[in-house]
């Protein structure tokens, strides 16, 4: 039985420290701790990395604080459209969903696509029909929406800026048997066009896991992460070029940056090393490992007092 641990993110691109209220910061940090502890408990009792990833992400999806599950951002038509993916590093099996309007926990549905369908990715109405068939309760879109996100959409439409507001959630885990898994769940970009799909549910762009290398989840301006196949790129740099996790993860973010994109990623390798590079002001992130090491952070450098 080797070492185990997990790393999570709650999105990159947070605004300047002085623009985030101390209460908001405290609430987000507490939720990150709850998510990491929930996932860690699964690993600590010998559970699989895949289960830890789903457990940690479900806490964040249900929190109404992050851009995933309940509390997701709205598209330009005022509707939540959710995406998620999950990948198993042992078998390279994956499940993915996009454009969901009536599913509270997209990461659980991604798992069901992986386990109970012959496919990797289901979208929109087809994904929701499948959800009904495998016993997921469907919710109204209103149940996913929060007053804060409705306000944010109005503000963004008024400002005429391009789609923005990051805050996706993700997790990558290494279990006691040495197996890796990763998952990502998101509402995508605020004010996005109806039908737009980002990197999060795309295996190899926003989510990837392979026992031979690492497991990771990305966050940021998805279009750029898709164009550089960011998540698979990290794994490929390790596999083909022999780079270490940190170097490979940074190289992928550098490629995103070179194209003009913003974001970050969290990753763990088969030895339990963790990398969390980002090129934004901050990235909600946390990890916990069986050697006792842990971290909860939002910004780069010293955290402002809570
Ligand atoms: N990467 C996500 C997307 O483009 C957004 C985010 O990370 O906040 O859909």
* DSSP string of 46-73, one letter each residue: T--HHHHHHHHHHHHHTSSSSSSSTT--
Residue 116 placed within a domain: no
User: Rounded to an integer, what distance in angstroms lies between the CA atom of residue 167 and that of residue 72?
Assistant: 9
Pocket test for ligand 1, best of 98, 185, 191, 198 (most atoms within 8 A of CB): 198
288, 5 contact by CB (below 8 A): yes
Q: Of 220, 218, 159, 216, whose CA–CA distance to 189 is shortest?
A: 220
* CATH at 232: 3.60.20.30
Total domains in the chain come to 1
Domain housing 53 = 5-90+145-299
Contact 99, 187 (CB under 8 A): no
Assess if residue 128 is contained within a domain. Answer: no
Mutate which of 219, 224, 285 to test ligand 1's pocket (most atoms within 8 Å of Cβ)?
219
Confirm whether 280 is domain-assigned: yes
Closest atom of ligand 1 relative to the 223 alpha carbon: 4
User: Rounded to two decimals, what is the model's pTM?
Assistant: 0.96
In a domain, 110, yes or no: no
Neighbours of 129 (CB within 10 A): 11
Q: Please report, in tens digits, the pLDDT of each residue of the chain (306 residues total).
A: 568 999 999 999 866 666 678 888 899 999 999 999 999 999 999 999 999 999 999 999 999 999 999 999 999 999 999 999 999 999 999 999 999 999 999 999 999 999 999 999 999 999 999 999 999 999 999 999 999 899 989 888 888 665 555 679 999 999 999 999 999 999 999 999 999 999 999 999 999 999 999 999 999 999 999 999 999 999 999 999 999 999 999 999 999 999 999 999 999 999 999 999 999 989 999 999 999 999 999 987 766 554
In a domain, residue 99? The reply is no
Residue 68 lies in a domain: yes
By C-alpha distance, which of 296, 304, 283 is closest to 13? 283
Does 114 fall in a domain?
Answer: no
Q: Are strands 121-123 and 94-100 parallel, antiparallel or unpaired?
A: parallel
Q: Is 186 a catalytic residue?
A: no
Residue 137 lies in a domain: no
């Amino acid at each position: 039985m080797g070492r185990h641990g997990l790393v999570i993110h709650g999105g990159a691109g947070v605004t300047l420290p002085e623009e985030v209220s101390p209460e908001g910061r405290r609430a987000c940090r507490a939720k990150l701790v709850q998510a990491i502890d929930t996932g860690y408990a699964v690993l600590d009792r010998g559970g699989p990395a895949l289960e830890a990833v789903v457990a940690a992400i479900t806490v964040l999806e249900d929190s109404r604080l992050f851009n995933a599950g309940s509390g997701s951002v709205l598209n330009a038509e005022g509707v939540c459209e959710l995406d998620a993916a999950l990948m198993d590093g042992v078998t390279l099996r994956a499940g993915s969903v996009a454009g969901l309007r009536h599913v509270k926990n997209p990461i659980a549905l991604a798992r069901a696509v992986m386990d109970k369908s012959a496919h990797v990715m289901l979208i929109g109405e087809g994904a929701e029909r499948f959800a009904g068939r495998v016993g997921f309760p469907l919710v109204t879109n209103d149940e996913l929406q929060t007053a804060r996100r409705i306000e944010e959409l109005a503000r963004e439409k008024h400002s005429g800026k391009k789609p923005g507001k990051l805050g996706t959630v993700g997790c990558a885990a290494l279990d006691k048997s040495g197996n890796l898994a990763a998952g990502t769940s998101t509402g995508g970009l605020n004010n996005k066009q109806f039908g737009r799909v980002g990197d999060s549910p795309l295996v190899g762009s926003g989510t990837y896991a392979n026992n031979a290398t690492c497991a990771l989840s990305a966050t940021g301006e998805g279009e750029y992460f898709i164009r550089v196949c960011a998540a698979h790129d990290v794994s490929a740099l390790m596999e083909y070029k022999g780079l270490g996790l940190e170097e490979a993860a940074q190289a992928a973010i550098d490629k995103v940056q070179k194209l003009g994109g913003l974001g970050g990623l969290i990753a763990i390798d088969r030895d339990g090393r963790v990398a969390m590079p980002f090129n934004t002001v901050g990235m909600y992130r946390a990890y916990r490992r069986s050697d006792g090491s842990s971290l909860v952070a939002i910004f780069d450098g010293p955290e402002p007092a809570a």
